[in-house]
Amino acid sequence: MVNLGRVAQRIVPDGQLRDRTFPRRLEMAQLYLSFVLLELPCLTLAKVADVVIQSADIKLSIEHSDQRVRGCMVAHAGSGFIFVDTEDDENERRFTLAHELVHFVGHYMIPREDTIERLGANVAEVLDGIREPTADERISAVFSRCHIGPYKHSMPRTYGSDTAVLEDEADLGALHVLAPLGEVLRTMRDVGGRDRQAWTMAVSERFGVPEWAARIRALQAERYVITPHEKLFASLADATRPNSGSSGR
């Protein structure tokens, strides 16, 4: 599991993290992170491969190349390409960019930097697929718990697979970046009541995330909105309420 706080601080610097202006403009991350944002209509894996091969001469082996995708990230030699489908609405595109940035920073950049710090600068040649690791590097990687092969992340998301774990982390990280929990709580308390749909719409509007993502974030925050006393009273009420499912016979 990646450290979402560490990832968020790389995607949104401290000054911006303290800024309560939303929605966030994550395209500005190109100023301080080594990636290029490419927005294309009707995005497919074949289009991703064409751009990467022409721009960086990186050979990609992609299955289901005609598959439509909302977004995609390709990383090599410390830099990356992030693709977003322009056919999606603004909120969906914002979430896609945040999702792919979590992949780039949390699943590629930070592990790469940690490995180089522990094993030395020369291991970058292994991470970039230029050469195979030496026996000493393999042993050091085991003891340091570092991955020293080239970065590889495949699709699609299959339930229970390693890919699914990474995708779920990227979704959770995107929510962490776009809709900080403390700000979500303020928004929900301002709305008041216990109307989950009203909470969802308020979160979606303020933070510029799709309704499905806002619903998830509101549910994550709901347990903090309801006070411990309210939870206790609700539990007591449930315990003393007659069982409507019983016939009484």
Each residue's pLDDT tens digit in the chain (249 positions)? 789 999 999 999 877 767 788 999 999 999 999 999 999 999 998 899 889 888 877 777 666 678 899 999 999 999 999 999 999 999 999 999 999 999 999 999 999 999 999 999 999 999 988 899 999 989 888 878 777 766 666 555 655 667 888 999 999 999 999 999 999 999 999 999 989 999 999 999 999 999 999 999 999 999 887 655 555 445 555 555 555 443 344
245 found inside a domain: no
**How many Cβ atoms are within 10 Å of 125's Cβ, its own excluded?**
14
Judge whether 25 lies within some domain: yes
What region does 152 belong to: left with phi over 0, alpha with psi -120 to 50, or beta?
beta
H-helix or E-strand spanning residue 110: helix 110-119
Last residue of a domain, one of 178, 196, 220: 178
Residue 78 lies in a domain: yes
User: What confidence score (pLDDT) does residue 67 get?
Assistant: 85
Tell me if 34 is assigned to some domain: yes
Instruction: Tell me: do 185 and 153 sit in the same domain.
Output: no
Report the pLDDT value the prediction gives residue 241, as an integer from 0 to 100. Answer: 52
Alpha-carbon gap, residue 201 to 223, rounded angstroms: 18
Closest CA to 202 of 191, 210, 216: 191
- Same domain (yes/no): 173, 190: no
Domain finish residue from 146, 178, 210: 178
143 shares a domain with 78 = yes
At 20 the pLDDT is 81
Domain count, the chain: 2
Residue ending a domain, choose from 178, 195, 221: 178
Q: Is residue 85 part of a domain?
A: yes
Looking at the structure, do residues 149 and 230 belong to the same domain, yes or no? no
- Domain of 221 in residue numbering reads as 181-239
Is 134 in the same domain as 170? yes
Q: Is residue 116 part of a domain?
A: yes
Residues 107, 153 contacting (CB under 8 angstroms): yes
